[in-house]
Amino acid sequence: MLVVITGGSRGIGKSIALKFAKAGHKVILSSKSADHLSEAKSFIIAESHNNNIHSFCCDLTDKKEVERFTAFCLTHGAPDVLINNVGNYLPGNCMDEPEGTMEAMLAVNFYSAYYLTRALLPSMVSRKSGHIFNLCSIASLKAYKGGGSYSVSKFALNGFSQNLRQELMPLGIKVTAVFPGAVYTDTWGDFDNSSHRIMEAEDISNMVFAASQLSSSAVVEEITIRPQLGDL
């Protein structure tokens, strides 16, 4: 099985990549940080004992970069699983956040997934199989103070997921929207999670992997997963 993962060099993406690699699947990682990508690839190969791990450094907010990455992926065949995980968070309120925040959030959190999915879909459609996971957020489900353009961009990704589900339903391609709450990744800096107040990246990768293992007659349309004690 060929698994394509964007934002695969750190956090949730890296954890998902390791999960699929340990199961023996071919994995393609992308990230716009060459250093982080190289480190992640080496780590995953070492931990999974799977040498069939490939990487491609690119900025998926750029259509030309998406075209390059798509061409690279297709040299390995049509993806069985596409995981749109790349994303970023800029706090603020729509009414007074810095100029350009909305454009930046839409570019990385929505358009990256939109561009890449549309580029890779023809190969999936021709085979009449595949599974697309869009890593949304609980911010895709309910607005909150300080969410601003980040929340708007994640609402857009959720809307894209819902539309794709309807469009691809008769074509044999599954679509799953994933809505994680707080997950302990690099973005939390030196946050003390010794009490397990927020989730681990592995919690998300376990759920994504499990959803990918169902028969062709079943699909998990949505995964909402929150810390046991609720949102922060």
pLDDT digits (tens, 9 = 90+) for 140-186: 999 999 999 999 999 999 999 999 999 999 999 999 999 999 999 87
| 8-20 mean pLDDT | 97
Half-sphere exposure of 85 (CA within 13 A, CB side): 28
Q: Where does the pLDDT of residue 136 fall: very low under 50, low under 70, confident under 90, or very high at 90 and above? A: very high
Half-sphere exposure of 22 (CA within 13 A, CB side): 12
* pTM above threshold 0.85: yes
Tell me which architecture the domain covering 2-225 has in CATH: 3-Layer(aba) Sandwich (3.40)
Type of residue numbered 173: I
Type of residue numbered 69: F
Looking at residue 189, its pLDDT comes to 78
- Residue 79, exposed/middle/buried by CB under 10 A (0-12, 13-18, 19+)? buried
CA 42, 121, 206, 139 torsion-angle sign: positive
What are the structural domain ranges in the chain?
A: 2-225
Looking at residue 167, its pLDDT comes to 98
| 121-136 mean pLDDT | 98
Which alpha helices (H) appear in the chain, and where do they start and end? 11-22, 34-48, 63-74, 101-106, 112-127, 148-168, 201-212
Which residue in the block uniquely carries the two structure tokens 């995980």?
85
Q: Are 29 and 9 a contacting pair, CB within 8 Å? A: yes
Residues 51-89 pLDDT 10s: 999 999 999 999 999 999 999 999 999 999 999 999 999
- Give yes or no for residue 35 having a pLDDT over 90: yes
